[in-house]
A = this chain, B = another copy of it.
Amino acid sequence: MNELIGQLTNVSLGASVVGLVVAVFFYFRVKALPEGNDTMNMIARFIREGAMAFLVREYRVLAVYSVAVFAFLFFAFNGQGEGMGLLAGGCFLFGAFLSLLSGFVGMKAATFANVRTCQAAREGSKPNALLTALDGGAVMGLFVAATAVLGLAILYSIYANDPHLATVLHSFAVGASSIALFSRIGGGIYTKAADVGSDIAGKVVEGIPEDDPRNPGGIADNVGDNVGDVAGMGADIYESLVAAVVAAMAIGLTADASYINGLFTDASMSDTATRAMAVTLPIFLSGVGLAVSIVCIFIARALRQNSPAMVLRAALIVPSIIISIVSFVIMPMLNVSQAVTWAITAGAIGGAIIGLITEFYTAWSPVERVAESSKTGAGTGVISGLAVGMESTVVSLFIVAVVGFIANLVMPEGMGLYGIAMGAVGMLAGTAIVMTVDAYGPISDNAGGISEMSELGSEVRDITDELDSVGNTTAAIGKGFAIGSATLTVLSLFSAFILEVNHVRVMSGMEAMVLKLDEAPILIGLLIGACLPYAVGASTMTAVGRAAQSIIDEIIRQFNEIPGLREGKADPDGTAIVDIATKAALSQMVLPGSVAIFAPVLVGFLLGPASLAGMLAGAVAVGASLSLFMANAGGAWDNAKKFIEAGGLEGHPKGSEAHKAAVIGDTVGDPFKDTSGPGVAILIKVMSVVSLLIAPLIAMNG
């Protein structure tokens, strides 16, 4: 590794260590805050224990999975050279371990922060409540971004000049991705089964509000926020960052040297030097993004006296812009063409635009349209939410296409997909702060739940409600970044996969494959790929529906069989519900998760790389659009319900027929936006990463 490359990598190592230190600092700061009264404490303990119990049981399943994949990789890659099996398997475990670690620590922090946020609200201080929720979220945000950057930087420091660097990076990414997949889907099923189940049973069947202390589903509902929206989301974003960086690195590793040289302004650089720089830039920029995000987190904390909505929205958008500026300054110093800066900027600004579009469709006039349609019943309300979701998909995906178009256009010949990958890195530059703000949401939501269940009164609830509603908006923006960057990342991974296949073929003296779009195997792959997102959608929707049904049955049983529960004289058995949700989530995450892992392996080995490439193309087209559609339709229904509850529809208050219709839309939207939508988005990333990893094993097979 030459000196400059070493220095750039050290920037990332340094940023990630600082990130971890800050995260630990926030962790203990939050933990030291006052916890409130005994009831609050008890409820918080139930939530914490439920969440941890789920995580422990989930990790047990994932341990078995990891051992199996380790064994597969060990044997599959052993044929590739001495020690390769251990290397691939080891890097896989490293990626998986860091994912689990950040999920664990982040969720632990969130389950401390929720009750302390509630307590700050109880003390009447909105800025302190905001700060507590923000710090709690920052533990997750920083851990996620820092472990991703750290893991990649460590591996790169060790293996930069190793011929097996590609396998190292891809195995690490598969570790990160597959854990993310299971965490996201398992967490998503848990949270929405609990939410839908306790909502329907509590509100409709028994006429008791969601967070009423008598509702046996209350604890599970709050646990769900933590395992789904904190741990699941965290694993997802960790994976996004890893995948985006690895995609750009992989293209740098395998692209034609003559193309790579076009990226550099210094014609005297050797092919080796330009390639090394092209591979290092993504790691370096993700480190810079992390550093910028850390600074922005402190700025956001300092501004806590201002309107939370403005502070958090700025926090999401500003880091991406700063990293563009930093890139503009640094690239000339590194003799790198400013084309890279433009690609990053296209990604950064595109991400912000997609975020704002998402916010528009899930918070502004389209939501009012959905609310209006609910006046004539749930049927028209659901129809109009579906229409809004579809419309937002068109606009968002079109912006992604424009970002890709620009990132390709500014690049020198042959490096268009490297540009698209750098666009994705630019979009994800603010990962630490995006995830901070994302985790802030469920923490404030939990704080509200705890205040309700502890019967702290409306003044406390008002504060937590305001924080929570800001969280909904920022979650929408964060989702825009996530899906936009995922789509660009998948396009780059896809191209990296084909480059890798041909790299291996050429190295072995075979001809490079030309994957022509109009060949039957590719088109058949396209159709198979188009099925898969629907397979994940169907199985996750069914899982939530079934699990919610069991929860409803159990809640009704408790109301019928526990004497005094209805009158508030006896305690509900919350752990029974937690148990049902846990079992359902763990058993039903296996099928959709397996689709993502086995489909590329099966198609790759049986039909060859051409059909696999076609399959990935079909999956990304369908998956990107379907996940946007589900996420945004769900967001629109959710906020239409809230809009009516806030009195937005004159003559149709909370409890009216229009409101009931909107609640039905919200119920449909719950698994749409928080289980199936994210599940589909992560599916296409995992399939692409797995394909990239197995590329050398199937390259000769066609």
Contact = CB atoms under 8 A, between A and B. Distances in A.
Contact of A524 (B404, B518, B545): B404
A549 interface: yes
Most buried by B among A205, A527, A528: A527
Contact of A526 (B394, B417, B621): B621
Interface stretch (A30-38, A233-241, A493-501, A691-699): A493-501
Contact of A617 (B532, B621, B667): B621
B398 A544 contact: no
A208 interface: no
Nearest to A501: B518
Nearest to A521: B408
A281 interface: no
A380 interface: yes
A177 interface: no
A422 to B, nearest CB: 13
Interface in A521-554: 521-524, 526-535, 537-538, 541-542, 544-545, 548-549, 552
Contact of A528 (B398, B524, B552, B663): B398
Interface in A361-391: 373, 376-380, 382-384, 386-388, 390-391
Tell me whether chain A's interface is mostly helix, strand or loop, or mixed. Answer: helix
B520 A416 contact: yes
B517 A498 contact: yes
B516 A664 contact: no
Interface stretch (A183-191, A212-220, A310-318, A622-630): A622-630
B545 A405 contact: no
B622 A530 contact: yes
A200 interface: yes
B618 A621 contact: yes
Contacts of A498: 517-518
Given A394-B535, A394-B538, A667-B379, A524 B622 contact: no
A17 interface: no
A397 interface: yes
A379 B381 CA distance: 12
B518 A494 contact: yes
Contacts of A528: 398, 401
Contacts of A529: 621
Contacts of A43: none
Interface in A60-108: none
Contacts of A535: 390-391, 394
Interface in A651-696: 663-664, 666-668, 671-672
Contacts of A377: 200, 204, 664, 667
A393 interface: yes
B516 A391 contact: no
A330 interface: no
Contacts of A664: 377-379, 382, 664
Interface in A490-523: 491, 494-495, 498-499, 514-523
Interface string A169-210: 000000000000000000000000000100010001100000
Most buried by B among A519, A523, A532, A535: A523
7 contacts: A196-B380, A379-B663, A387-B538, A394-B531, A401-B531, A417-B520, A527-B621
Interface of A: 196, 200, 204-205, 373, 376-380, 382-384, 386-388, 390-391, 393-394, 397-398, 400-401, 404-405, 408, 416-417, 420, 487, 491, 494-495, 498-499, 514-524, 526-535, 537-538, 541-542, 544-545, 548-549, 552, 613-614, 617-618, 620-622, 624-625, 629, 663-664, 666-668, 671-672
